[in-house]
Structure 1
């Protein structure tokens, strides 16, 4: 529940809604507590999640008089949320929350809009509407003007208009009123609402539900854990900014990785690494629409780089500079500031990104389901990325964990560079370019030799791979060597490395990303994707019973909305970090695919 008034503390029991243009998070009291406009990295006009001053600003909430309970669920196979509020006298309402998304006039209709329907379902409910968006990252409450059936909110440089058939005066004065019929609310662009609000909003609801249920019907889900996989897949799609194809790491900023650590980061941007894993997971389900859009985004990034260094992250519009600042008027999650805007990691050198561009793009040459398959021109551009992978494979970088004060040659980055050259060789061979195939295979072989020489710590087969060329400490990313096809799971070197990682980094059913001090001290929480990597490794080690048990444990840690954040307290199980986290949702999909019984078992 959002806000800090009367002892109520925010938590991550949040329910995402969205339409691939805007998104929002609804808390357990039907409050829209986080939502940015005009897109995910914009101004959070709904920001009470990070506002320690009051739960009555930066929020859109429906408050039922005498409320005693609230229950929530999504409409089947959709991100349309239904919240039921019940009062002590037995009266009740249901609130339907969604952002419109459906095809209209030959294109996708996904406005910068939040839509809500309040439906009385029992008794004579009395309700108060608290709608107080803010501007400029919590600097002030938005000013209003109003007409007969609308209210205009000045939020920064733009204006949003609430069109409604609910009494405008009651909303402006936050005065309770009796709900005797369905109330419809459309908060969107500052333009006259076309058509009857009641009829249009209901059509939007029906069409949005139909869109999502048809999209889910196209997913190739595993037999087991279908509900869990579907919810993760829908939420991953919500993390794509469809206009450009970018995929953000999370919908939020500055939820701490651990209490009072200042490990507060803005994740509303497109990390090349995180997006690679998202695409990989959705491809396994057959959701090619997300990949097609993302490949277009990558082509623009590659063109802009002009054969030079590629950053680890960009804005959803492809902007390179993401200068990091703080929002002084927002106290932070549970008053644990700072609230950061932007992310200085864009200045870092992270060489794994070259492989994470090549790998998904390479599929575009082979996958005949795609509307636009990659061609020889794309191969020439991709070779420029490969040149950077080759050039940088043995050079220090900040690594995938984005250390801010040190650089080393990270094994994961080197393996990703190997993968880039290896896949380019495959593509060149497919295109009949034998000379280029030979070149890229030679480079892949030379990178492998370098990795084996510098990353293996030990004599012969006695030892393990280290996280960096310079040291023998371990991190969980080494478990990805099998996934990247660098090494087989039955190779004694991988088995020895897994044994060492499990001993050093496992904390009961959880996995740390590393146990070494970083810029902020020792890690205090487990990194959820690393726990899923542990589950994958257990499966590869033929410890399936243990893997399934651990997977079910992780599923039990999900929020009521069926989702996960980035981190978890490995002692209490409390979720921390930005929410929902694409990495963590990828883990749910990948592990379900690995561990599920075959569909053949029910035929």
Structure 2
């Protein structure tokens, strides 16, 4: 079987995300928000997904790369008549005391060699490909009508060539500016070049203001840039991935919509960004989670995930009219996991916001109703601490008393105790400590003394990579023999020779998994570093680096046998895992932090 890699890169500006294929096509773009209908969705259906490509006559080769330390993507095309470069970016920079991040995709097309003949196709769609848009020509633009808002393509190319999809010789730089709703009314060429200059400058400054250690720094920088644009800045929500329905492996039916904010995932994202000195994302998320907390005041549960504006009902619908990625159906919009009971999330909310109360760079007194907010989360933990739940992997028809869920209740209460101490509330501190002890009892009930390992749930024999977090979160003293034995048992059963790691090997609602889950390999590396097996950690980290695509972007799942990328892409979880593992190793190596 051939190795499958995702042949695209990602551009974004914290308002939208777009996937650009190595063949120049915009394979995926949802407007006006991350979880809206796609405007271009060729990733899910070549015929119904629309197209926005800039292609030459005849055969061609392609080279795709990011401008260093930016989210600006370049695709160079070489054909018989010459070569040219397409520079794609989503404008983002500081203007008028706020961030300018319009729903605007800018494509600069410039000749490099010879006289390449190119053709531009722009066919946006709406309602997940059910509606074709009507093009209306203007003097220097084409408007596409039929969506909720008008989409406009402005260009200094001959509009006749665009409308008629004719080949023409590219002999100077051309610009394509696609907008949704608010259109570009300024001079085209100078404005596009100015936006490019300012966007490059913004990303360079963002990286320069990061504290990134010298261990695999290039990979960490790319991961940080990926994670940054997965935050929907308008509300502070962080999405798990920008895509839907990319299968965990071919024919699996495990095709999920990840364009939502999982509280668990957000904890990991914020932790990794905190490690490199970025806290703005955490403060924005605080506002998002506070809004949800207040709206849920009559209900003791949080959902595992919400829409990027806090939407609760994420009804799962199947788009039967779409053929799916490489023919893999179903294509799902929405995610039924919003109905699940997952009791680890309360602890993760507490941990993710702990620095706001313990890091003296923040003034905790600026946060209103801290007592009320902490008490509310402790109430939720107390009411759910003895429940069975769906666990981290969101089993649809299986419930257990999961070690992972209780671990994060334990860790969340530990965080709450620290917060309570900061704000001087002894009653909350005492209550948090008592709940920690209750959670620990459940965790210990998962211990198998004969195998010297913690199973994934009470009264279950199965092992699960999520219990690596027992070591990483310091529930188990990393220097203890119990931690080392637990790690040995997990790697013996779940690790592959290539360094990959299965989540678990027992059957779930869809049978046995056939691909490894990439973040589990990074958790394994972190655990190795924690217990003092640093050489092993470095060796395993280096093995995993080969599973990226040509742009250092990682998927959710990897096939053990072929090294193929599967699952949603790029996956925030995977890039979080890389950053946290690199950070853990760098600390052990005492690598310098570059500011």
Q: What is the Cα-based RMSD across aligned positions, in Å? A: 1.9
* Alignment-derived partner of residue 574 in structure 2: 584
Which of 302, 309, 312 is residue 310 of structure 1 equivalent to?
302
Cα distance change of structure 1 residues 330 and 370 upon mapping to structure 2, 3 Å threshold: farther
Mapping of 1:195-206 within 5 angstroms? Answer: 195-206=186-197
Deviation at 1:473, TM superposition (A): 1.2
Deviation at 1:373, TM superposition (A): 5.9
* Alignment-derived partner of residue 5 in structure 1: none
* Alignment-derived partner of residue 490 in structure 2: 501
Deviation at 1:451, TM superposition (A): 2.5
* Alignment-derived partner of residue 429 in structure 2: 437
Q: Is the 8 A contact 1:52 1:334 kept in 2?
A: no
Mapping of 1:8-19 within 5 angstroms? Answer: 11-19=5-13
* Alignment-derived partner of residue 527 in structure 1: 517
- Please give the secondary structure, in 2, of the residue aligned with 1:50: coil
2:401 paired with 1:378: no
Deviation at 1:492, TM superposition (A): 2.5
Distance in 1 separating the partners of 2:270 and 2:365: 16
* Alignment-derived partner of residue 36 in structure 1: 30
Deviation at 1:67, TM superposition (A): 4.3
- Please give the secondary structure, in 1, of the residue aligned with 2:293: helix
* Alignment-derived partner of residue 561 in structure 1: 551
Distance in 2 separating the partners of 1:526 and 1:155: 42
* Alignment-derived partner of residue 128 in structure 1: 119
Cα distance change of structure 1 residues 600 and 236 upon mapping to structure 2, 3 Å threshold: closer
Distance in 1 separating the partners of 2:137 and 2:4: 32
Cα distance change of structure 1 residues 47 and 294 upon mapping to structure 2, 3 Å threshold: same
Stretch of structure 1 that moved more, 228-237 or 356-365: 356-365
Deviation at 1:447, TM superposition (A): 2.3
- Please give the secondary structure, in 1, of the residue aligned with 2:505: coil
* Alignment-derived partner of residue 517 in structure 1: 507
Q: Is the 8 A contact 1:418 1:447 kept in 2?
A: yes
2:406 paired with 1:417: no
Distance in 2 separating the partners of 1:125 and 1:510: 44
Mapping of 1:351-430 within 5 angstroms? Answer: 351-370=343-362, 375=367, 377-430=369-422
Distance in 1 separating the partners of 2:4 and 2:26: 13
User: For each residue in 1:50-80, what CA deviation from the matched residue of structure 2 results, as whole angstroms up to 9, or x when unmatched?
Assistant: 11437xx522110022443211111111010
Gaps of 5+ in 1: 1-7
Which of 579, 583, 587 is residue 593 of structure 1 equivalent to?
583
What TM-score, normalized by structure 1, do the two folds share?
0.94
Aligned residues: 589
- Please give the secondary structure, in 2, of the residue aligned with 1:212: helix
Cα distance change of structure 1 residues 399 and 155 upon mapping to structure 2, 3 Å threshold: farther
Q: Is the 8 A contact 1:120 1:182 kept in 2?
A: yes
2:276 paired with 1:285: yes
Cα distance change of structure 1 residues 382 and 272 upon mapping to structure 2, 3 Å threshold: same
User: For each residue in 1:335-378, what CA deviation from the matched residue of structure 2 results, as whole angstroms up to 9, or x when unmatched?
Assistant: 11111000000000000010011111222112233477664612
Distance in 2 separating the partners of 1:87 and 1:425: 64
Cα distance change of structure 1 residues 271 and 351 upon mapping to structure 2, 3 Å threshold: same
Gaps of 5+ in 2: none
Distance in 2 separating the partners of 1:177 and 1:372: 61
2:229 paired with 1:238: yes
Cα distance change of structure 1 residues 9 and 431 upon mapping to structure 2, 3 Å threshold: closer
Deviation at 1:575, TM superposition (A): 0.4
Stretch of structure 1 that moved more, 275-284 or 288-297: 288-297
Deviation at 1:10, TM superposition (A): 8.7
What TM-score, normalized by structure 2, do the two folds share?
0.96
User: For each residue in 1:118-167, what CA deviation from the matched residue of structure 2 results, as whole angstroms up to 9, or x when unmatched?
Assistant: 01121111110011111111113222112010111125322111111111
2:15 paired with 1:21: yes
Stretch of structure 1 that moved more, 191-200 or 237-246: 191-200
Distance in 2 separating the partners of 1:428 and 1:191: 46
Distance in 2 separating the partners of 1:114 and 1:372: 39
2:464 paired with 1:482: no
Q: Is the 8 A contact 1:10 1:334 kept in 2?
A: no
User: For each residue in 1:83-131, what CA deviation from the matched residue of structure 2 results, as whole angstroms up to 9, or x when unmatched?
Assistant: 1111123x11111100111122222111111110001121111110011
* Alignment-derived partner of residue 265 in structure 1: 256
* Alignment-derived partner of residue 159 in structure 2: 168
Cα distance change of structure 1 residues 600 and 144 upon mapping to structure 2, 3 Å threshold: closer
Q: Is the 8 A contact 2:88 2:108 kept in 1?
A: yes
2:159 paired with 1:188: no
Which of 540, 565, 584 is residue 530 of structure 2 equivalent to?
540
Distance in 1 separating the partners of 2:346 and 2:152: 43
Q: Is the 8 A contact 1:510 1:526 kept in 2?
A: yes
